Amino acid sequence: MNSSPANFVQRFLPLRLPRVCVAVIASDPAQLLDKAEGLVRDNPFLEFRLDYLPKPGLALPRIRSFFEMFPHAVVIATCRRATSGGKFRGSVASQLELLSKAAAAGCQLVDVELQTALKCKGEQLQKLRSRAALILSFHDFHGTKKLPETLEKMRNYPADFYKVVSTATTLTDNVTMMKFLEKESDRHSLVGLCMGEQGIISRVLGVRAGSAFTFASVSEEERTAPGQVTAQDLRSVYRIEQVDVATRVYGVAGDPIAHSLSPIIMNTALRRENVNAVYLALHAKALKDLLTCVREIPIHGLSITMPYKEAILKYLDNTDSHTTKIGACNTIVRAQDGKLYGFNTDTAGVVRPLEQRIPLEGARILVLGAGGAARAAVFGLKERGCEVFILNRTPAPAQKLARQAKARTIKRQDLRKLAFDVIVNATPVGMSNSGESPLHENEINAKYVFDMVYDPPETRFLKAAKARGAQIIPGIEMFVHQAARQFEIWTGKPAPWDDMLRVVTIALQERVAKAAKK
């Protein structure tokens, strides 16, 4: 931080800023300030994005009244120009004038982009800085590169905070950003993060690497930058206020990953059991990129999902014999020496719900499918003494699996003659309200029907099973059990099963309600 000629931060700001600044946008001044009033009790640190207003100057009297009502609020005034990624189409002079008036109305910080600084005289900036703490900002909307060089350029302009925002196109870009923060934050007050879906690591962990604070949105619909997380999620899901050097990092890696429910379920479990850890959704477009982060951040454990469950095996130092047999890994543990160990908890996800209902020894179980999840089910059920049958769209993988696991294959035309204790659907048929079912109603002859598909919560297959008088086991139970087993492997503690089931059920119901509204 540059502290000449007076310590501006001390003059304008509380000693310690909150970690989360919530960006507020609106289409008119009344809406902006109404939103701010609703937010400020739980979020004392706000950013007013004046550039989203058609006539930002009209907001100034309301901002003044806001500070009379909420003198403890801390607010950044930002009026980003369109040329720098914002919405303000006025000149540099009108931008500076507006920010100066916002400072006079009570905003303790103002944000000015490097592009604006390059276009104005040093005295203009310093005059503004005599009224409010100055955040000099730079946004790279394409990548994460030359961060030290960018800071060097910015340092030509004395400021109270230097905000360097880049775009993560790989997970490793987060490592670059955090190394930069770790190195430079001793000498300057920095705010740093990566935008984009892949920037989640820096949004949550940047504060422990040295970012003075980070930004959040009011809601998913009101994001002011790609990948921005809502303030509520940063606080209650990722517990950003508690993140410290000892916080262990876990995550789910896949491609795509945006709709994964794993962060909700795992962060709930970690919070409930007081584990100092955070669990992030990692959009890995390449396994090598993911493995760099595992080493560098470091990441202590991973859930692995599509399409990497098989491909990850060759990068692991060891796997248990069950995982080796299945040939697919959904859980990684990084040991203290950095070695990676692979497990498969999908088996627990199938076996646990079943053994809670029936004795498995000798049970006749039909598994539909012969992919990774089916393999986990077949090997796991065989180990428990079940008589396992396999039916797959393509015969060859079913025959191979049957040979390996000492199970039997059956033909679809024989189905109507056969009865089972359980039928397990291990295919994706029925996902995302496709309305499809892997079997016709008259092909279902079983006491229990277990669908691994959990979105929608009640699939067409489960409805057909109910109509045939079978008991149903929804895929959500498998999801919770496989996650619970991961939690146990990572933490050594029993998983808070009820809480995990509750949050994931609510999340799925919300998803269904949202889809119905569309």
| Residue 428 touches ligand NAP, criterion: CB under 6 A | yes
Stretch that binds ligand NAP, among 195-203, 248-256, 281-289, 478-486 (CB under 6 A): 478-486
CA angle 97, 101, 102 (to 5 degrees): 115
Give min distance, CB of 377 to ligand NAP, in A.
9
Q: Report the alpha-carbon distance of residue 125 to residue 145 in Å, rounded.
A: 26
Tokens read off for 287: 């396994």
Nearer to ligand NAP, 213 or 454 (CB): 454
Nearer to ligand NAP, 158 or 397 (CB): 397
Nearer to ligand NAP, 136 or 398 (CB): 398
Number of residues that bind ligand NAP (CB under 6 A): 24
Give min distance, CB of 426 to ligand NAP, in A.
5
**158: number of Cβ within 10 Å:** 17
Stretch that binds ligand NAP, among 103-111, 383-391, 428-436, 491-499 (CB under 6 A): 428-436
Give min distance, CB of 293 to ligand NAP, in A.
23
* 96: phi then psi, degrees, rounded to nearest 5: -65, -40
* Nearest residue to the partner ligand NAP, using Cβ: 371
Q: Report the alpha-carbon distance of residue 190 to residue 135 in Å, rounded.
A: 9
| Residue 426 touches ligand NAP, criterion: CB under 6 A | yes
| Residue 346 touches ligand NAP, criterion: CB under 6 A | yes
Give min distance, CB of 438 to ligand NAP, in A.
6
Q: Report the alpha-carbon distance of residue 27 to residue 56 in Å, rounded.
A: 10
**Interaction pattern, residues 430-469, with ligand NAP; x per rule: CB under 6 A:** -x--------------------xxx---------------
One of 309, 406, 466, 517 is an active-site residue; which one? 309
* 379: phi then psi, degrees, rounded to nearest 5: -65, -45
Known catalytic membership, residue 514? no
Q: Report the alpha-carbon distance of residue 449 to residue 367 in Å, rounded.
A: 10
Give min distance, CB of 157 to ligand NAP, in A.
52
Q: Report the alpha-carbon distance of residue 13 to residue 21 in Å, rounded.
A: 14
- The correct pick among 137, 185, 482, 491 for binding ligand NAP (CB under 6 A) is 482
| Residue 66 touches ligand NAP, criterion: CB under 6 A | no
| Residue 427 touches ligand NAP, criterion: CB under 6 A | yes
Nearer to ligand NAP, 161 or 450 (CB): 450
Tokens read off for 364: 């006749």
Give min distance, CB of 517 to ligand NAP, in A.
24
Tokens read off for 180: 């930069």
Nearer to ligand NAP, 217 or 330 (CB): 330
The HSE-up count of residue 5 (CA atoms within 13 Å, CB side) is: 5
Give min distance, CB of 43 to ligand NAP, in A.
35
Q: Are strands 331-334 and 340-343 parallel, antiparallel or unpaired?
A: antiparallel
Give residue 56's Cα distance to chain centre. 33
Nearer to ligand NAP, 120 or 431 (CB): 431
Q: Annotate 288-316 with DSSP letters as a single string.
A: HHHHHHHHHTT--EEEE-TT-TTGGGGG-
Q: Report the alpha-carbon distance of residue 366 to residue 107 in Å, rounded.
A: 66
- The correct pick among 23, 209, 234, 478 for binding ligand NAP (CB under 6 A) is 478
Find the binding residues for ligand NAP in span 356-415 (CB under 6 A).
369-374, 392-394, 397
Considering only CA atoms, which of 13, 11, 70, 8 is closest in space to residue 37?
70
Nearer to ligand NAP, 297 or 429 (CB): 429
Give min distance, CB of 395 to ligand NAP, in A.
9
| Residue 479 touches ligand NAP, criterion: CB under 6 A | yes
Nearer to ligand NAP, 227 or 456 (CB): 456
318-327 contacts at long range (C-beta below 8 A, 24 or more positions apart): 318/342, 319/343, 322/347, 322/379, 322/380, 322/383, 325/379, 325/404, 325/405, 326/372, 326/375, 326/376, 326/379, 327/372, 327/375
Nearer to ligand NAP, 170 or 303 (CB): 303
Considering only CA atoms, which of 153, 191, 192 is closest in space to residue 174?
192
Strands (E), 308-418: 318-319, 331-334, 340-343, 364-368, 387-391, 408-409
What are the catalytic residues?
Answer: 309
- Sites of contact with ligand NAP (CB under 6 A): 346, 349, 369-374, 392-394, 397, 426-429, 431, 452-454, 475, 478-479, 482
